Chains A and B, each alone.
Chain A
Amino acid sequence: MATARGGEVTIRDLSKSFALGGRQLAVLRSLNLDIRSGECLVIVGASGSGKTTLLRILAGLEKADGGGVAIDGREIDGVGEERAVIFQEPRLLPWLTVLGNVAFGLEVRGVPKAEAEKRARFYIALVGLAEFSDAYPTQLSGGMAQRVGIARALTVQPEILLLDEPLGALDAMTKISMQEELARIWSEENVTMVVVTHDLEEAIYLADRVLILPKEKGGAARLIDVDLPRPRDRSESRFVRYREELLREFGLH
């Protein structure tokens, strides 16, 4: 629907550590990375590798200790209107209907209610929930609730969509159908997408490039180009080979 509008991310010498029992534990060590406008970058890594931390820094929810992040050449400082985040939990407001929740992001940004709801309806339809506009979150299944969260993020028409294990809490069947849906939305919306996941198949299904964060000190982050036609076929031999390559990275194959 939209044309590419930027959404280029430049990460320079980014480092972050946490205090843990009196010691400093480094999770990100001078990371450099360029995320291209409109690409889908998937970040994988063992737990504790800092993938969620990296996403939260990109979102502006956490500050880096050193280095910085620029979006379209501008250094970021906190949250910004060009970004939207989809969390692992849908994080819906239980007292608002689906429509109210999806319009929420626009409303807090000062868009008049009628206009916000009009745009919200478009994205509710896009995620296939048009007949549930008036339902409350308690009436939705996990997959439906997560779609409402996705619609809410899309409604503010961000240049960059940040997804933190967005399908991590869903059952296997719902997960696969939601991966297809995310891939479709990404291609239709022409948005830069940064996805954190620990599901390697999901990474290959969605990614233009996969970033593998190292677990141990001194290890280097690795980037793998996923050169497969879309929509992707999980059973295709090249898909399987990418999966084996990623498994090897984790020493599991």
Chain B
Amino acid sequence: MTLQHIERPIGIGRRDGGNGFGTEALRLAGRASARILSRYGLLLGFLALWQVAASSGWVNAAVLPPIDAIVAALWKGLAGGSLLGDIAISLQRAGLAFAAAVLVAIPLGLVMGQVRSVETALDPILQLFRQTSALALYPVFILLLGLGEASKVFVIFWATLFPLLLNTISGVKEVDPKLLEMARVYGARRLTIFRRVVLPGAVPSIFVGLRLGATTALLLLIASEMIGANKGIGFQVMNAQYNFQIPLMFAAIVILAALGLIANQALVSLQRRLCRWSNAVG
């Protein structure tokens, strides 16, 4: 047997014999707060600057209300329930559109990445559609589907489709041909190769598409709700601005930002679970 030099990560912290528990805990706490400060310090500073600038009259508080006024408006809207209906309808629109885009784009992308003739036939029209802004097409969708839910969901679906589709296609096409050849050597048939090599190999790229798609869905959600809606977070942003309820407007913007962060975080943790191999670097 030969010896192999093996490097393994060391998971246990070294403990110096002489130190008491108290100093150890203090040092750990110090290190933890240093970590938080280096990561969130700039953000906290930004918020503090905003608060000071708005409450001391450096900026017009009617346009940039202080943080505490925004938090109060947010609390009132959530606890009082007036914003909950808007959140629900917005989630429904974005969720439906996103789910439909996933159901269409991933299977279609898997086929297009595998079967050259399908890709050749569909690519020109997809490139044309992709380069045409979904917002430019929104009036067309309104003409076709009316000003109700259908056109809103459809425009979100439309815009979400492309990042998902293109990333799925490239995920399939970028699977290492050497791995495909390896599977072939062991006698794997086309379907087995697809299931055991192509599909898992494309998952990271599909997740890139999912995350881009989620961002796109929220973006189009707001745009569509700003035109011809009477409910939804996007509508609230516009409506509060018209009525000069500026803290409420910022509260709605904060909700949007939170939705984006939550969606992204959910996808990231799902990816971590499905792709443990890709971040299991020793």
Contact = CB atoms under 8 A, between A and B. Distances in A.
A89 B277 contact: no
A42 interface: no
Contact of B186 (A94, A104, A136, A178): A104
Contact of A94 (B4, B5, B183, B278): B278
A162 to B, nearest CB: 9
A61 B184 contact: yes
B221 to A, nearest CB: 33
Interface residues of B, number: 31
Interface stretch (B19-27, B69-77, B192-200): B192-200
A237 interface: no
A207 interface: no
Most buried by A among B2, B179, B181, B185: B185
A177 B2 contact: yes
A141 interface: yes
A178 B200 contact: no
A180 to B, nearest CB: 7
B186 A143 contact: no
A138 interface: yes
Interface in A52-100: 59-61, 79-81, 83-85, 87, 89, 91, 93-96
A165 to B, nearest CB: 14
B147 interface: no
A32 interface: no
Nearest to A178: B2
Interface string B187-228: 110001000110011010000000000000000000000000
B15 to A, nearest CB: 26
A138 B282 contact: yes
B10 interface: no
Given A93-B179, A105-B186, A143 B196 contact: no
A94 B187 CA distance: 20
B76 to A, nearest CB: 48
Contacts of A28: none
Contacts of B188: 108
B281 interface: yes
B185 A144 contact: no
B1 interface: yes
Contacts of A156: 186
Contacts of A137: 277
B193 to A, nearest CB: 8
A59 B185 contact: yes
A93 B282 contact: no
B200 A87 contact: no
Nearest to A81: B187
Given A91-B178, A94-B277, A181 B186 contact: no
Contacts of B111: none
B185 A61 contact: yes
Contacts of B282: 135, 138-139
Contact of B4 (A91, A109, A135, A143): A143
Contact of A79 (B5, B185, B196): B185
A98 to B, nearest CB: 11
A108 B196 contact: yes
Interface in B46-100: none
A231 interface: no
B229 interface: no
A112 interface: no
B185 A95 contact: no
A107 B196 CA distance: 10
Contacts of B1: 128
A138 B281 contact: yes
A81 B196 CA distance: 19
Contact of B200 (A83, A93, A109, A138): A93
Nearest to A128: B1
B1 to A, nearest CB: 5
A83 B185 CA distance: 8
B32 to A, nearest CB: 28
A252 B51 CA distance: 79
Given A93-B200, A135-B282, A141 B4 contact: yes
A108 B183 contact: yes
Nearest to B199: A95
Contacts of B182: 85, 87, 91
Given A91-B181, A93-B201, A141-B7, 19 more contacts: A59-B185, A89-B178, A91-B176, A91-B179, A93-B200, A95-B200, A95-B203, A95-B278, A104-B186, A108-B183, A109-B186, A128-B4, A136-B277, A138-B278, A141-B6, A144-B6, A174-B4, A177-B3, A177-B4
Interface of A: 59-61, 79-81, 83-85, 87, 89, 91, 93-96, 104-105, 107-109, 128, 135-139, 141, 143-144, 156, 174, 177-178, 180-181
Interface of B: 1-7, 176, 178-179, 181-188, 192, 196-197, 200-201, 203, 275-278, 280-282
Top 7 nearest A-B pairs (CB, nearest first) are A139-B282, A177-B2, A108-B188, A105-B186, A91-B182, A95-B277, A136-B277
